[in-house]
Amino acid sequence: MESFAQNPSQLHAQSHLQALEDESIFIMREVAAEFERPCLLFSGGKDSIVMLRLAEKAFRPGKFPFPLMHIDTGHNFPEVIAFRDYRAAQLGERLIVRSVEDSIKAGRIVERPGQDNSRNRMQIPTLLDGIAEFRFDAVFGGARRDEEKARAKERIYSFRDSHGQWDPKNQRPELWNLYNGRIHKGEHIRVFPISNWTELDIWQYIATEQLEIPSIYYAHRRPIVIRNGLVLPISDLLPALPDETVEERTVRFRTVGDATCTACVESPAATPWQVIEETAVTRITERGATRVDDKVSEASMEDRKRAGYF
List interacting residues with another protein (CB under 8 A). Answer: 1-3, 14-16, 18-19, 21-22, 25-26, 29-30, 32-33, 56-63, 145-146, 148-150, 152-153, 155, 168-169, 171-178, 180, 182-184, 195-196, 198, 200, 282-285, 287-289, 298-299, 302
If we measure between CA atoms, which residue out of 241, 243, 244, 262 comes closest to residue 252? 262
CB of 147 to another protein, least distance (A): 11
Kindly state the DSSP code that residue 294 receives in the 8-state scheme.
G
CB of 139 to another protein, least distance (A): 17
**3-class DSSP state for residue 291?**
strand
CA–CA separation, 223 and 240 (whole Å): 10
Kindly state the DSSP code that residue 91 receives in the 8-state scheme.
H
CA–CA separation, 96 and 248 (whole Å): 36
CB of 141 to another protein, least distance (A): 16
CA–CA separation, 221 and 140 (whole Å): 34
CA–CA separation, 115 and 126 (whole Å): 19
CB of 263 to another protein, least distance (A): 12
Torsion (CA) 146, 152, 155, 160 in degrees, nearest 10:
-110
CA–CA separation, 111 and 119 (whole Å): 9
CB of 291 to another protein, least distance (A): 10
Closer CB to another protein, residue 108 or residue 227?
227
CB of 221 to another protein, least distance (A): 26
Closer CB to another protein, residue 29 or residue 220?
29
CA–CA separation, 64 and 44 (whole Å): 17
Closer CB to another protein, residue 89 or residue 152?
152
Closer CB to another protein, residue 270 or residue 284?
284
Closer CB to another protein, residue 133 or residue 298?
298
Closer CB to another protein, residue 223 or residue 288?
288
CA–CA separation, 182 and 9 (whole Å): 42
DSSP H or E stretch at residue 290: helix 286-290
